[in-house]
Structure 1
Amino acid sequence: MLVAFKLWDFKKQIVTTKDGYILSLLRLPNGRSGAFSRPNKIPVLLQHGLLMAYWDWSWDELAANDLRASFDYVYQRTGNQTIHYVGHSLGTLIALATFSQHKLLSMVRSALCPIAYLNQITSLISKAAAQIFVAEDLYWLGLHKFDPNSKAVDKLLKTVCMDPEIDCYNMISAMTGPNCCLNSSSVEVFLDHEPQATSTKNMIHLAQMIRRGTITKYDYDDNDENMSHYGQISPPVYNMSKIPNDLPLFLSYGGQDKLSDDNDVSRLLNSLHFHDGDKMTVQYQDNYAHADFVMAVNAKRIVYDPLMAFFELH
């Protein structure tokens, strides 16, 4: 998508959430030729993953407020009551959470590297960071912005990387798994813009999921705080089985992905066991890891062409 911005004209759109925060959407209204898209074209909303979230929220707010505001804006802007949604990593989680709670059957959605359950991830660096409460320590120190380039985060990551079982020599592979199909130019573009910051609270929320194997709202680890936010002492569960059975889903995941692990994805698929067979396509790429789905040189043929074919059917 970063490369696309260099090739195509894009326009910045401003969206305000119901709780008053201002979001920026980047709209690509026309193709490389400069010709504007036909008015009856179905809009596609692309949602990035973890890094780039705001500083004081977890993904609960991204699902409840940000994503809903983006959907509503696209509806109003295009006049089209159908939207294709493509999320990567955390972008899939917030959509799954949204659709488990709200019936938006007019919308076609898809997912790449579906993130839902996380307790079986094989990313040792992510698992270790969760187990020693790295994000919680940062939050306790008053660092509500999780910046991978900051000295505080760098120091804690170096502590994690001292574990002899964790190879941090290639940080991308250590985090995402051995990506099969990246080239130097795509990695250079990525490193020109990433890694960006996210909310420390967001990292705490994901760490809770890794440790507990649950998909719930953010746990304040305080009965009074949870009661204040949720009306109960434990955070509410996101029930994936409540995703409407006739909502079209395209799920694509990789066998080398250390963040979207086979076993965790299988658990998600099991919760979707009763989904209408003609409404769900599951694609498995044995040699793909987490970053391949957005940067692989063969991703168009392997992933995006089948995805577009799925869109055409629905």
Structure 2
Amino acid sequence: MLLVVFVTTLLSVAVQVATNMESLKFFGEAITSRSGSRLGRNPEVNMNTTELIRSKGYPVETHKVVTQDGYILTVFRIPHGRQNKNSKDPRPVVYLQHGLIAFSDNFIANPVNESLGFLLADVGADVWLGNTRGNIYGREHTTLDPKSLEFWKFSWDEMAQYDLPATIYYILNQTGHEQLYYVGHSQGTAIGFARFGEDLELASRVKHFIALAPVARVGNTKSPIRLLVPFSTELVLFLDTFGHGEFDIPEPLLKFLAGNLCERWGEIICENFLFLLCGYNTRSFNTSRSDVYISHGEGGASARNLLQWAQ
């Protein structure tokens, strides 16, 4: 977890050092336009979540969840698989929650037979892809401006306190079910551990909690990146000053990198960048989709959330 925190924070510092986030967005759009609006051989690089799901032949719905403190989260629903629309069998509800600096696409970025979201839909589940405040689908608020520092004053504590219960109760209300299955990955497990242990009523609404890469503490991290921990406060101060408390790599820039770094300038560079972020494991890595992983992997976060993990 510390590895992800500091590599991504340093990358954000590198791309923010010359200007602010709005200028970076303009720069990303400019280089994308100059290089061609549809970069890369794989069209999935340029798809948004709904386009990606529909391109595989699945239905998709877009829902808005409003938390008690006013954050508006976009969640996606795959109500059934490609072949079981009219099935009369019971359809269990499964809520998939992503990890740190990630977003819902993490569960659908692989081929159909290797993506958890699609696999669950095809075996009869009603699949919901969650998002938390601060990622690309969690940058709306009933009163706060996402460009203000006030909007970004949160960590995963608030995700556990507000985002998780709001999403669970919304899903149950929409489906009419009393319980659901919760699948969390990395930070998605941490917010589950934190909230379900305190809120027994909410915990009773979860039939099973499946924890993928569960996180309870990060003290045993062996990566050399942990040597940067003493500088975490300074890095966050930089992000507060130049990026209003937000960590993000602009989407147009990510798509440009995916279409060029991965396909034109050398796949090995792209692959090793992902290994640095996520851990080195060539046996579990689909090299043919590294461009998709780059363009659909990073969803943004708050600087304070990164700082909390570093601490």
TM-score (norm 1): 0.55
Q: Secondary structure at the match of 1:92?
A: helix
* 2:216 is aligned with 1:116: yes
What amino acid does structure 1 have at the position aligned with 2:306? M
Q: How far apart are 1:34 and its partner, in Å?
A: 6.5
Rounded to whole Å, the distance in 1 between the matches of 2:294 and 2:211 is: 24
Please tell me whether the aligned partners of residues 135 and 203 of structure 1 are also in contact (alpha carbons under 8 angstroms).
Answer: no
Identity level (%): 32
Question: Counterparts in 2 of 1:275-290, with a 5 A limit?
Answer: none
| Equivalent of 1:128 in 227, 233, 242 | 227
* Alignment match, 1:71: 168
Render the CA deviation track for 1:42-61: whole Å, top value 9, x for unaligned: 20000111115414320011
* 2:119 is aligned with 1:16: no
Rounded to whole Å, the distance in 2 between the matches of 1:169 and 1:71 is: 35
Rounded to whole Å, the distance in 1 between the matches of 2:308 and 2:87 is: 39
Question: Counterparts in 2 of 1:171-210, with a 5 A limit?
Answer: 171-179=273-281, 180-208=283-311
What amino acid does structure 2 have at the position aligned with 1:101? E
Q: How far apart are 1:78 and its partner, in Å?
A: 1.2
Rounded to whole Å, the distance in 2 between the matches of 1:25 and 1:38 is: 25
What amino acid does structure 2 have at the position aligned with 1:76? N
Unaligned runs of 5+ in 1: 151-167, 209-314
* Alignment match, 2:197: 100
What amino acid does structure 1 have at the position aligned with 2:228? A
Rounded to whole Å, the distance in 2 between the matches of 1:18 and 1:97 is: 18
Rounded to whole Å, the distance in 1 between the matches of 2:88 and 2:100 is: 32
* Alignment match, 1:6: 55
Rounded to whole Å, the distance in 2 between the matches of 1:135 and 1:86 is: 32
What amino acid does structure 2 have at the position aligned with 1:30? H
Please tell me whether the aligned partners of residues 240 and 246 of structure 2 are also in contact (alpha carbons under 8 angstroms).
Answer: no
Q: How far apart are 1:177 and its partner, in Å?
A: 1.7
| Equivalent of 1:40 in 90, 109, 114 | 90
Structure 1's 140 and 79: CA in aligned 2 closer, same or farther, altered over 3 A? closer
Rounded to whole Å, the distance in 1 between the matches of 2:87 and 2:227 is: 47
Render the CA deviation track for 1:50-109: whole Å, top value 9, x for unaligned: 115414320011110011000101111111111101111111111111112111134111
Q: Secondary structure at the match of 2:217?
A: coil
Rounded to whole Å, the distance in 2 between the matches of 1:76 and 1:26 is: 15
Render the CA deviation track for 1:22-54: whole Å, top value 9, x for unaligned: 111100011023615658322000011111541
Relative contact order higher in (CA < 8 Å, ≥ 6 apart): 2
Structure 1's 140 and 27: CA in aligned 2 closer, same or farther, altered over 3 A? closer
TM-score (norm 2): 0.55
* Alignment match, 1:145: 246
Unaligned runs of 5+ in 2: 1-48, 104-132, 135-151, 252-269
Q: How far apart are 1:136 and its partner, in Å?
A: 2.8
Q: How far apart are 1:192 and its partner, in Å?
A: 1.9
Moved over 4 A (4+): 2-5, 36-39
